[in-house]
Amino acid sequence: MIATTDKQEATDLAALFRQMYSARPDAFTEALETLAREERMAVPQVYDRQTGLFGKQYFEQRLLPEKLAQAATTGKPVCYAIIDIDNFHQYNAQHGHQEGDKTLENIANIIFHNTRHEDSHDTTEPRNKDACAGRIGGGEEFGVILSTNLDGAYAACERLRAMIKTKTDVTVSIGIAVYDGKTSKQELIRRADKALFEAKENGRNQTRMYSPSELSPSSDQQSYRTPADPART
């Protein structure tokens, strides 16, 4: 970060930044995002080096258990979502891995700026204590913890899905599961993954929610649902 205590120097820097932004706004914005991502990667044990999101180990072994423990204690709702880029292997094969890496980083930036967390040391934007995100797969998969009920999580994930579709040239599928206060972390992840699988099987580029089947309380059969008249593209 750039810091100065001199008033004139600060004024000159602000003028310089305005001039740079006016000349090339896209390049200036990209440079700021790169700096922010590099700052987030400062602690490799915590952050994924490529995307700047929380790394898989820290995200799944510390943040997720903490959120579930808080929810079990307070009774407040929490949901877990898995976001997976559609047909990403084909995209890499067609456009090359360099372009694929750029797309991956763009998606990570979109997710990051919409799921701020109090543990993040990036101070460029206000923090959102109600959500956090990590890179959980070997390449194209992300996990998001949302402190809201199932319908609230669905609305938030649909906004993310639509934003990614608008700002990149790929789509994502999303699976969501709600924590019931007693389900294990592994089972919660499994349920979100099941919902993600259903989204993939039903055409991709959509969000699906996992919920126990209402046909029989003792049945192992599960259902996947979306709210009435869901937005589909």
CA distance 152 to 85: 22
CA-CA distance, 82 to 97, in Å (whole number)?
A: 23
Instruction: Cite the active site residues.
Output: 140
**Structure tokens belonging to residue 28:** 């200036």
DSSP 3-state assignment of 207?
A: strand
Q: What phi and psi values does residue 79 have, to the nearest 5 degrees?
A: -125, 155
The full DSSP string for 120-152 is ----SS---TTEEEEE-SSSSEEEEEESS-HHH
Q: What DSSP string runs through 15-46? A: HHHHHHHHH-HHHHHHHHHHHHHHHHTTSTTT
Give the number of other Cβ atoms within 10 Å of residue 118's Cβ.
9
Q: Which residue bears the tokens 């709702």?
A: 77
Cα separation, 79 vs 180, in Å, equals 9
Q: What three-state secondary structure class fits 208?
A: strand
For residues 49-61, one letter each, b for 16 or more C-beta atoms within 10 angstroms of the residue's C-beta and e for the rest, the string is eebbbbbbebbbe
